[in-house]
Amino acid sequence: HDAVAAGQPHRARPSPAATGPLYVAHFFIRLWRAKGSIYVETLSERFATMAEKKYRKEESGGARKRWKKKSDDGVKDLKKEIEMEDHKISLDELVERYNTNLETGLTEEEAELVLKREGLNLLTPPKQTPELVKFLLQMFGGFSALLWTGSILCFLAYGVEKSQRSDVSDDNLYLGVALAVVVFITGCFSYYQEAKSASIMKSFSKLVPQEASVIREGKRYTLLAEKLVIGDMIEVKFGDRIPADIRVIKSSGFKVDNSSLTGESDPQLRIPVFSHDNPLETKNLAFFSTSAVEGTCTGLVVNTGDNTVMGRIAKLTGSIKEEATPISREIAHFIHLITALAVIIGVTFFIISLSLSHYWLRAVLFLIGILVANVPEGLLATVTVCLTLTAQRMKIKNCLVRKLEAVETLGSTSVICSDKTGTLTQNRMTVAHMWYDMGIKDSNTNEDPNDPTKTRRESSPTWDALARIIGLCNRAVFKEEYSNRRILDRETVGDASEAALLKCFELEVGPSISYREAHSKVCEIPFNSTNKYQVSIHKQPDQPEYVLVMKGAPERILDRCTTALVNGQEVPIDQQFRDAFNGAYIKLGGMGERVLGFCHYILPSSSFPQGYEFSSEEVNFPVEGLCFVGLVSLIDPPRANVPDAVSKCRTAGIKVIMVTGDHPITARAIAKSVGIIGPESLTVEEVAERDGISVKEVPVGVAEAIVVHGQTLLDMSDEEVDEVLCSYKEIVFARTSPTQKLRIVEGCQRAGWVVAVTGDGVNDAPALRKANIGVAMGITGSDVSKQAADMILVDDNFASIVTGVEEGRLIFDNLKKSIVYTLTSNIPEITPFLAFIMVGIPLPLGTLTILCIDLGTDLIPAISFAYEEAERNIMARKPRHPTKDKLVNARLISLAYGQIGMIQALAGFFTYFVIMADNGFLPARLLNIRQEWDDPTINDLSDSYGQQWGYTERKNIESACHTGFFISIVIVQWADLLISKTRINSLFQQGMKNKYLIFGLISETCLAMILAFCPGVSTVLRLQGLSGHWIATPLLFSLLIFVYDELRKWLLRKYPGSWVEKETYY
């Protein structure tokens, strides 16, 4: 109406009936394109016609552009840092904002209204591509579209011939069925491989707690967590999963495990006090899906469902389009190349055959033959099986591959963004150093299971006192079911730091249970955020005095002490001792270690006799004027084999970037210890300190290494992020959030790098999904991270990634060998049809026989390359360039088609002409004889010597020629298999260690003999037995191929960089 009112011509909406043919045509065209470019659309868009789209564009103007902009803006919003005020405002403002009551909570009516407005406390799953569309994409995409076309044309040709005469051959029917079966099985297999990757949102849904303890109208009861609303008051206790984002109102020793969300390995204390502007850093917020590991809490719900921090991560993860893997792009490129070649050659010769006055049906059969000969039907199956076999090998080496294409992607990786906790480190706090008697001592962790006393420290008065505090001022205990394990491998109940101290005691002193029984506890004050210490009082065996032991923050402990134990003697704490204390504290902290202080006090029996009633509430015992004993530092130590793995990455040209939620000092210390930051490299901060300038004044490029704090990254533009990534060789990002990790990955991809990302938490899911290859942790990894990843490290070990890189590089090299081997036989398969059309000779090779080569004799040998060993040290070369180093390049095509393939074609034709000549038809007589040869009414066709041949006899000779040509291809493929084993080494250097390749050689020969000589099979394929000298004919060409390629490789090794390498090294 608006258009008419504006004086514009009214354009009617096209009816589906009028555009029906366009629906079908457009559907198949888009399917073919989609498969080639690894592109997926919704079903409704698939079926939208071109006319419909034009109408929509004119009718709605910029509506679609507006929708796309809105969608892009939504993703950009999700990538922004979380902005909240609920942790900053006062409780009165909070109560007013959510119209609630801190004592009685919401009323049922208010809760119902909020529920209707905000919706259920659930995560919304993203839209999924219908399974039907996925199946059709696999069934009709890429090569499949060509083969379906060939199959339909076969059925069409058979139907037309059958309608014209009754004695028609069944060859076209067999071929049509064979092509359809091949495409259907390949499509089903590809769909199965894709369908194995489950939806990422299914794993997010597991994070949603089932029930919550809520306070409404002053009543406490259990409610389904999905029915919680903003403003609800809830109670959380130890062991619960937090059902929504909450503001902490009351707490008692409440700690949460935020590791899956922020990457922090230690439990985080939560109190009602605002402590940081960043919502993820403040102590008065607890987040949906994190777990309560200690204490209790009463909280006010401030976010539910998709609006929670976890909900934002889930939406961001679901909105990220997975990057096409390098191998998928290579295969798409290869499909486009071969498809274009097949179509161009097929259509060209179809037109030529029509111009040569061939019957249209005969021209169609030519077209089918050329399509089948051009398309390597077994190649995609070969690639899939090779990747599968490599994935199985990687599984043995602790790399579990979820997506087959990830096998090769890891080999293409140029940057690894690695998490710290559990990947580079052991994910268990360990006592690293001790400071007592004015010196730093290493902790002994070399446990000898046969003689535990070997690890025990030599007794001294100060050490005995420190060990007593470590063992007694400790609430951690071992789980009984793990008592038969090594001490360091035993699981414990309690805080991670206390577990480390407990293991240290067991190693350095002895069994903790008997020691604690001998020193029974009579009173205890647990650690709290106000005092920042833990204290307990114990009886002493054979002593009337009680002993008070305390541990906590070093500075707080020292402030409570007036004396120190040095070499067994109590001495006053003077400035000299304080300086030594500060020096040790700074040194241990600078190594990224968490430091604790320890002190004790022998309570005099006169004031505290046996049976004295100690009170932790009134604190009727001294907590000041104590005796300082020493310091203990803890760290999550690096894995033993990580430094070697990082060194291998450097050699292989792979940049390793640490991305962690931990403190920058700890991150830098670990980075230095594993080699991510070299021993001689200075960070920006160290250069600034050396030169006496500020960090901002340090010029870019002066320092080799940089540690970037998450807060700094927050203020950086994308251009500044790119500058950091490209300007520094050694990079550590600390205190990063999930969106910042995603920004880092995107920056690496903008630089053209192939990025691998490791992660174990929910916070890592967006980056894992965005990366070219996401690597999750098998032991500590959350279900969400595993679903988002392409590969899982079973042992959580960074060194396993390096193994995967090596396997990935090897499979890329071996896939090249499989492809060059497979493509080479295309030339002897295509040229018979070209000669058939161009020079009019009887058909030298049947179309069904081509399928027998591609899907039969060539298949096992092609797959056997997956087991081939590397020719050189593949970890000493740089990563391949994703756009320049193609899987199939011009040199590979030139070698396969223009050189080896031509020799193979010569072998086939030589055998063909020998068989024809032995039967009286010299080459000159065969030219332009085709029409007479194929005419069933001619039974007196003369050969070169005047003998006359009937139609049946001629077809028998043709069957012998088909068999000869087929056997010739198999024999020259022997040589092709041997020369494809290496790309530069001589076969004599590489050797024949690959037993699967030998098996492939034997199976290829046996299968060829069965197809050619087995009754029944040979009849269907129109093959027949041959005399010995015909079979021996192509052996000379096989030898020629081997000698030619050995000479080519010798020139490659002798003259590196020469024109031979530039033209033939693929």
- List residues with catalytic annotation: 419
In Å, how far are 311, 561, 575, 961 from 625, measured between CA atoms?
Answer: 51, 5, 17, 106
For β-strands 233-237 and 285-286, DSSP reports them as unpaired
Are 60 and 68 a contacting pair, CB within 8 Å? Answer: no
What element of type H or E holds 633?
Answer: strand 626-635
Q: Which tokens sit at 160?
A: 């037309």
Q: Name the packing angle between helices 738-750 and 63-79 (round to 10°).
A: 120
Q: How far apart are CA 976 and CA 988, in angstroms?
A: 15
Residue whose C-alpha is closest to residue 764's, from 748, 784, 790: 784
Tell me the C-alpha distance between 1066 and 1064, whole Å.
6
For residue 426, give every residue at least 6 positions away whose Cβ sits within 8 Å of its Cβ, in sequence order, or none: 636, 637, 638, 639
Structure-token match 């064979």, residue found? 178
How far is Cα 815 from Cα 804, in angstroms, rounded to an integer?
16
Query: 457: which residues sit within 8 A by CB, 6+ positions away?
Result: 444, 463, 467, 508, 509
What radius of gyration do the chain's Cα atoms show? 38
Give residue 494's identity as a one-letter amino acid code: G
Residue in 389, 705, 742, 434 with CA at minimum distance from that of residue 588: 434
- E strands, 238-342, in order: 245-257, 268-269, 285-286, 291-303
Our CA dihedral for 280, 281, 285, 288, rounded to 10 degrees, sits at 30
Residues 416, 656 contacting (CB under 8 angstroms): yes
**Spatial distance between the Cα atoms of 664 and 709, rounded to a whole number of angstroms:** 7
Contacts of 534 (CB under 8 A, 6+ apart): 473, 524, 525, 526, 527, 550, 551, 552
CB 245 within 8 A of CB 225: no
What is the residue type of 997?
A: L
Is residue 378 within 8 Å of residue 862, measured between CB atoms?
A: yes
Chain centroid offset of residue 279 CA: 30
Give CA torsion, residues 492, 493, 496, 499, to 10 deg: -50
Partners of 538 in beta bridges: 521, 547
Return the residue matching tokens 């939806």.
Answer: 199
* Numbers of helices and strands, H then E, in the chain: 45, 28
Q: From residue 673, how far is each of 636, 639, 646 by CA, in Å?
A: 12, 10, 11
Inter-CA distances, 448 with 348, 433, 444, 467, 860, Å: 77, 20, 11, 20, 50
577 Cβ contact list (under 8 Å, min separation 6): 564, 566, 571
